[in-house]
A and B are shown apart, each in its own frame.
Chain A
Amino acid sequence: GAGVSQTPSNKVTEKGKYVELRCDPISGHTALYWYRQSLGQGPEFLIYFQGTGAADDSGLPNDRFFAVRPEGSVSTLKIQRTERGDSAVYLCASSQYRSTDTQYFGPGTRLTVL
């Protein structure tokens, strides 16, 4: 079956602009995670959804970052007033339900802020 997909695969934007990154999880998966990976580092947790609600957003770095999952499937990560330090690969993962269920990752969106 289809895996986790993310669009766009690459996004180049200018400092101060607004961007949206989309994640399509595996059908039927209720849990969805966003991570961010800077060059040479391991992925860093941002936010976790269980269904439509954000169960844990402790990893969002500041209030410029926001994520939604209005119907409990597709999720959008929104970044306002982008900064050069936001440049990274943004990864999305989904899992069935329990916290110990395997997370399946998408290929990521590479965001470059000029």
Chain B
Amino acid sequence: DAKTTQPPSMDCAEGRAANLPCNHSTISGNEYVYWYRQIHSQGPQYIIHGLKNNETNEMASLIITEDRKSSTLILPHATLRDTAVYYCIALPFNQGGKLIFGQGTELSVKP
């Protein structure tokens, strides 16, 4: 079973920031928080990951709470092409890389 919970769906206006929450209250100290997304009819795509510090790359920012029980993925200026299912995953760094996907959040970016 997935160790994370996410809202099933969210809407965002084009050009605005999309903030996608994830709850991982049972995360272990040896688990990273990973985010992938899956655009319709494509394979999942890596977005970003972190352990306990906030992270930023060209795609997104990841904010992890100090107690590591939750995180937020931020797409700063959402476009229509960001419409996808977003998955938050807790991945141990010493157990082979098996990704356990939950149901994810279906983000709809609207014009």
Q: Interface of A with B (CB < 8 Å)? A: 4, 31, 33, 35, 41-45, 48, 50, 55-56, 59, 91, 93, 95, 98-108
Contacts and interface: CB of A to CB of B under 8 A. Distances in A.
Given A43-B99, A100-B49, A100-B91, 12 more contacts: A33-B97, A42-B2, A42-B101, A42-B102, A44-B101, A55-B96, A59-B98, A91-B43, A99-B93, A99-B96, A100-B32, A102-B46
Given A42-B104, A99-B93, A104 B98 contact: no
B99 A45 contact: yes
Contacts, number: 64
Residue of A31, A41, A99 with most chain B CB atoms under a 10 A cut-off: A99
6 contacts: A35-B101, A93-B43, A99-B94, A105-B43, A105-B44, A105-B45
Interface of B: prevailing SS: loop
B92 A103 contact: no
Contacts of B45: 105
Which 7 pairs show the lowest CB-CB distances between chains A and B?
Answer: A105-B43, A42-B101, A99-B97, A102-B46, A100-B93, A45-B98, A43-B101
B87 to A, nearest CB: 6
